[in-house]
Every structure is written in C-alpha cells, then in structure tokens.
Amino acid sequence: MKTPTDAEIEAIVAEAIAAEASCAHAEAQPPSSAIVWWRAQMRARQEAAQFAEKPITIVHALSIAAGAGLMLSLVGYAVAGVKGLSAWATALWQSTAAAMTALPATLSGGWFPMMATAMLISALVVSIAAYVIFADE
C-alpha cells in the first residue's frame, strides 16, 4: 500500500476538518448577543457589589471573632474561678477537720476554761445590767 505524501496528508486533514467546521457552524446555536451582554452586566454588577461589601463583611467577621474571643476568655476566667473556689473549699474543709481533730486537746488545755468562764461571767453581768436598766423604766 502506497504511503501518502505530506501534501496528501495535509489535504486529507484539511478537508476533514473543514467539513467538520462547517458542520459545527451549522449546529451552533449560541444565545443572542443581547442576552449575553445583559448577563455580563448583571454579573459584573453583582461582583462589584460583593467587592464593595467585602470590607463590611471583614468588619463583621472581626467583630464576631472578637466577641468569640471575649466569651472564651470569660469562660476561661470563670473556670479558673470555680477551680480556685473548690480549692478554697477543700482547704477550708481540711483546716476545719484538723481543728475538730485537735479540739479535745484544746479543750483540755489551760486557757480555754478560763476564757469560757470569763465569757459566761460577762454574759451574766450584761444580763443583770440590762435587767436593772430596763426595770427602772
């Protein structure tokens, strides 16, 4: 079989593609230029509006981020506070327990009975004085 020359190959290809191009030209049903122009206008306006609103969106995003950050810091502060409170309550409980444990020894010590007697006498004196004062009236 004879091998086609370059010129023959070019002729075959050119003819085939030219026929295909004319077929594609007949098949083509592009939208009207008015519609394409109108759609382009609408899209350009929409993009311009989005571009103009971008700074507002950025400010919104920043404010939301700042609010979220503030909320998070408050939550963190509250959590730290609760932790501190629980530690304080634990310490209070431990010191109370230690004091209760040491109470018998304290009661048997020298200064507690004296102090208790002094308080009892004071209460008695105050009661008598109050009676004397209000009885006269």
Partner 1 sequence: MADVTYLDARRLHVDALDAETADVALAMDEDAFRGFYDRTSRALWGYLSRISGDRQVADDLLQECYYRLLKSSVPFESEAHRRNYLYRIATNLVHDSRRGARPLFVEGIDVAEVAAPRGTADAEQRTDVRRAMGRLKPRERALLWLAYAQGSSHAEIAGVLGVKTGSIKLLLFRARRKLAALLQP
Q: Give the binding site for partner 1 (CB under 8 A).
A: 4, 6, 9-10, 12-14, 16-21, 23-25, 27-31, 33-34, 36-37, 39-41, 43-45, 47-49, 52
CB of 7 to partner 1, least distance (A): 11
Cα–Cα distance, 127 to 137 (Å, whole number): 16
Shortest Å distance, C-beta 1 to partner 1? 9
Closer to partner 1 by Cβ: residue 39 or 60 = 39
Is 10 or 102 the residue whose CB approaches partner 1 more closely?
10
**CB 106, CB 112: distance < 8 Å:** yes
Crossing angle of the two packed helices 54-107 and 33-52, in degrees rounded to 10: 30
Q: Please, what is the minimum distance in Å from the beta carbon of residue 71 to partner 1? A: 26
The least CB distance from residue 63 to partner 1, in Å, is 17
Query: By C-beta, is 41 or 73 nearer to partner 1?
Result: 41
